[in-house]
Amino acid sequence: MSHHDQKPARDHLHLHLRRSPVAPAGVAAATLLLALGCGGRNPVWDAPVGRAQPFALDDALAVVDPDANRVVLLTTDVTRRARVEAVPIQRGMRAATMAPDRSRLFVVSAGDAGEMPPDGSAEQGPALEVVTTSVAGRRTYPLSEPLDGIALDPRGEWAVLFASKSAGGLVSNPNELLLVDIGKPAGVAAGGAVANPVAHTLRSFGGKPQRFTFTDPLELPGGLRRLLIVETEQDVAIVDLLHPADPEITVQLTSGQDARRVHPAAVAVTDGDPGPNDARIAIRTDDRNVVIATLLPATDRDFSPSLNLTDVGAVPSDTAWVRTDAGALGLAALVPGAGKAVVIDPTTGLTVDVGLPAAYQRLSLVTAAATKASTVPAAGPGAAVPQPVDIALLWNANGGGVAFWELGRVAGQPYRSVETVGVTSAVTSVIDVGSAHPELKILQTRDTAFFVLDLKARTSAPFQTSSASLVIAPSAGGTRAWAYVPGSSQIASIDLQTLHATERRTERPLSSLFEIAASDAAPGARAPRSLIALTQTGTWAAAVYDAASAGDANDAAGDAHTDIAGLLLEGIDAF
């Protein structure tokens, strides 16, 4: 349109405004009304809640709210009053996990990942964030790559970040790891290189990481070390955490002449006897062999694995380092396909087969809890204290029940025979009860029943349930166990001393149940604990009970609770 075309239009408008007595007021009013519509709201109000995920820290319920870029911390006090705090996290949350001791929450975020940040916001890069109830404990570790997998050290010293299968980048290297020393703050070394985290790219022969195992400190030829063992699809890599940037040691499980690929299934680590040259890593594979790597001195580095391959006759389902008679170290392997267990001498590679009454698939050592006072050999005057013989608990997810396996040598038998317990159901998991009753284990089954197993008395108390989807969680002190069915309104409390079960009803169907410590306990005093029944419908609700009262059938205050609705709406105004 030319200027000649536009001019008459402007004239017409001017004439119209001048002639109309209402027009100025109308234009002013319209302008004002248009101005009313200005100003948007915080976009978090429009964010969905479907991806929110709860974690039970020791002293808070932490809800990761990725669409709102925050973690909602719900803490309680001794009067059951709840406090909700929203902790901002970086945009683009990829993964979250809780420390094994429930002290911290780790959140991995990609940041803006190359996209434009929201209006008025600074650009954010990838980061690992540590969220705690204490402000002083919160840390942020900038990352060089937007990774989305995280594995944590059980001792709380290290975290390893990697690209998992769900990594959404155009190109990513799954063998590129970032090792974060979570005991230290993020640091930048001279020259701009990042000192913490440390980037470590695994030398790959075609595999990519599947599992990570952080070892306890091991007496190695070069001194006391911790190792990170990385299982890929076809080999095992050993990273020295004292020198995380140094090249790793790779244990290849498949020879170059064999087209068939052997995959690692699990590793078991032992420090051996006191001394530096007998730390060993047992690698269970998906074929009939077990590989034992003994870490011995080397010329070009502090240590190097010496490999020993042992055929156990069929595919092993579980392995564990055990102490047999006289404290001799052995590797116990369950071989359900052959209905036996095999004990391997790690020095000679000799094996001893032990027949089992059922095809047990899983094994865990319960020596301390299951040792009867009468079975511990007495030490004579001046004699060395005898090492206890390990006791293993065997169970099977496909049926066959539970058995105790004592690994001491007796006359006529290489190892003491297996003692079965009267549990015939398929055991899906074995749950430790806790400090108050270390001798008790809760056996979850596929049926509408669970068992409380007494390791010392070798008894198993059955409990009938109304649903096979029952969730059981021991209380923090181990005095009772909580049981519930997700979606129902019933909470059962089992007194683990008397084995008496009581029930309470919640006002809403509950999705999950958590026990946390109250945050304002007096110094030195044992913090009272709150029981939180979480309902993950709408914007989530929580009912906070006093854990001691709720679990006590004789306590009339057991029904007293604090009700919170709209949990995921809290704290948005403060953002």
The one among 38, 116, 171, 373 contacting other proteins by CB under 8 A:
38
CA–CA distance, 495 with 40 (Å, rounded to integer): 54
Nearest to 544 by CA among 565, 574, 570: 565
**What residues numbered 242-271 form the site for other proteins, per CB under 8 A?**
none
Nearer to other proteins, 398 or 539 (CB): 539
Question: Binding of other proteins at residue 118 (CB under 8 A)?
Answer: no
Question: Binding of other proteins at residue 120 (CB under 8 A)?
Answer: no
- Measured over the CA atoms of residue 287, residue 356, residue 449 and residue 434, the dihedral's sign is negative
Question: Binding of other proteins at residue 46 (CB under 8 A)?
Answer: yes
Nearer to other proteins, 77 or 447 (CB): 77
CA–CA distance, 217 with 45 (Å, rounded to integer): 48
Question: Binding of other proteins at residue 564 (CB under 8 A)?
Answer: yes
Nearer to other proteins, 61 or 423 (CB): 61
Question: Binding of other proteins at residue 491 (CB under 8 A)?
Answer: no
Number of other CB atoms surrounding residue 283 within 10 Å: 25
The one among 3, 4, 19, 165 contacting other proteins by CB under 8 A:
19
Question: Binding of other proteins at residue 511 (CB under 8 A)?
Answer: no
Q: How far is the CB of 37 from other proteins (least distance, A)?
A: 5
Question: Binding of other proteins at residue 554 (CB under 8 A)?
Answer: no
Who contacts 189 (Cβ-Cβ below 8 Å, separation ≥6)?
195
Nearer to other proteins, 27 or 350 (CB): 27
Binding pattern for the stretch 518-547 against other proteins, x by CB under 8 A and - elsewhere = -----------------x-xxxxx------
The one among 2, 10, 33, 382 contacting other proteins by CB under 8 A:
33
Q: How far is the CB of 52 from other proteins (least distance, A)?
A: 10
Nearest to 78 by CA among 552, 564, 525: 525
Question: Binding of other proteins at residue 11 (CB under 8 A)?
Answer: no
Q: How far is the CB of 572 from other proteins (least distance, A)?
A: 8
In this structure, the chain runs to a length of 575
Provide the CA 94 distance to its chain's centre, in angstroms.
Answer: 16
Q: How many residues bind other proteins (CB under 8 A)?
A: 52
- Measured over the CA atoms of residue 373, residue 377, residue 378 and residue 383, the dihedral's sign is negative
Question: Binding of other proteins at residue 503 (CB under 8 A)?
Answer: no
CA–CA distance, 247 with 299 (Å, rounded to integer): 15
**Phi and psi for 312 in degrees, rounded to 5?**
-105, 5
Nearest to 63 by CA among 75, 45, 81, 47: 75
Question: Binding of other proteins at residue 48 (CB under 8 A)?
Answer: yes
CA–CA distance, 441 with 451 (Å, rounded to integer): 8
Q: How far is the CB of 475 from other proteins (least distance, A)?
A: 20
Task: Write the DSSP string, 319-384.
Answer: EEEEE-GGG-EEEEEEEGGGTEEEEE-TTT--EEEEE-SS---EEEE-HHHH--GGGSPPPPTTPP
Question: Binding of other proteins at residue 566 (CB under 8 A)?
Answer: yes
Q: How far is the CB of 42 from other proteins (least distance, A)?
A: 6
CA–CA distance, 535 with 512 (Å, rounded to integer): 7
The one among 6, 42, 134, 306 contacting other proteins by CB under 8 A:
42
Q: How far is the CB of 477 from other proteins (least distance, A)?
A: 23
In terms of phi and psi (left: phi > 0; alpha: psi -120 to 50; beta: otherwise), the region of 9 is alpha
Nearer to other proteins, 286 or 573 (CB): 573
Nearer to other proteins, 44 or 427 (CB): 44
Contact (CB, 8 A) for 186 and 211: no
Nearer to other proteins, 1 or 36 (CB): 36
The one among 28, 193, 245, 553 contacting other proteins by CB under 8 A:
28
**CA separation, residue 37 to residues 41, 47, 573 (Å):** 11, 21, 20
Nearer to other proteins, 68 or 392 (CB): 68
The identity of residue 32, as a single letter, is: L
Question: Binding of other proteins at residue 562 (CB under 8 A)?
Answer: yes
Nearer to other proteins, 123 or 559 (CB): 559
Nearer to other proteins, 376 or 557 (CB): 557
Binding pattern for the stretch 53-92 against other proteins, x by CB under 8 A and - elsewhere = ---------------------------xxx-x--------
Structure tokens at 166: 């769900």
Q: How far is the CB of 32 from other proteins (least distance, A)?
A: 3
Nearest to 363 by CA among 395, 399, 400, 338: 395
Contact (CB, 8 A) for 337 and 348: no
Q: How far is the CB of 508 from other proteins (least distance, A)?
A: 7
Q: Which residues bind other proteins (CB under 8 A)?
A: 19-22, 25-26, 28-29, 32-33, 35-42, 44-49, 80-82, 84, 507-508, 535, 537-541, 557, 559-570, 572-574
